[in-house]
Structure 1
């Protein structure tokens, strides 16, 4: 999929399914180079604690035994959907924190499935990062029959506070695993590098539930 993405003030022109490339500062996945063809798949991604385990939000709705992880042969199948927890629906600092971790669960779900229906419902239309770099890229990848293996994100909330009437800011540190994007069985479209020690802030709005208003850099 051809696109021009703003990365830290510079344009990188390539075919990109890494659905979470935000910028050099707002990095939710990063390319290790230009797309390649017939490259070996990435291996050796480290283990981290996932957002779902911290928030308790990912009670699987699909039997774990029926889930098939993505491979160079094809995309993941029967991916468990992460339901939102009761805590993540409350207007409080703890609720905003749980919601943000749930949003990361949905990002990881989109990585596996390219299904953006659920994440769209929790994303405001003016969240440029959310739509341009996550939702629209995933929709295009689904249309082009590309899939991603690896590249999952592992967030940790470092601060959350109610910043005004019906709004909150949640600051997150996260890592992401290495990954590979395929355009056909064993045909590598792009490699995704390991990401460590990234920090971003979620601006949230509340109206009978939280939604993401913006994603910004955080110092």
Structure 2
């Protein structure tokens, strides 16, 4: 409870790539799409048992050709996820524009009851933004990303996790910085996707729990991933 008598709310958004590279029929089973969906189901159970589950508010976003809410922002103990849709390409412009709209509305609603703490967004992706027949250039989506992080009159942190065919420059451009280091993490080539995703979701639980308890962002690199540096 704050000095104003308002309880605190800590909003977290988990944005999951559902493009074809995550679920293609050419991929061995279980696909990354299967693993993410199963991990989300396990995540909801773990978060509901956390002592911080009343203060943490979680939303699940899915993105590919478009972005959509898979589960609207709700207290962690009420969160349930059993299904993610499937898309084709990966459009970062649609993702960041959509996140800006959703988060703006969520913050406005939460402020009626809570003191709203910084927003933290986890992005899980396995490839480059690709629209039509070419990669989507940073100049197309960076303005929407910057509007999200700088234009809401509220602190927004973006933690980007990349695995598979991901360009490190793209990942660091999408992520925000914390203590002068981008919150961007890429998988090691030797790490199995299943092991890395399991560790990644454990880090999400850790980040949610510790950030609420300490009232500041706490994040670490998942096993099988490394934190990236921006190139000079």
TM, length-normalised to structure 1: 0.28
Greater strand fraction, Structure 1 or Structure 2: 1
TM-score (norm 2): 0.26
Greater relative contact order (Cα < 8 A, sep 6+): 1
Which protein has the bigger helix share?
Answer: 2
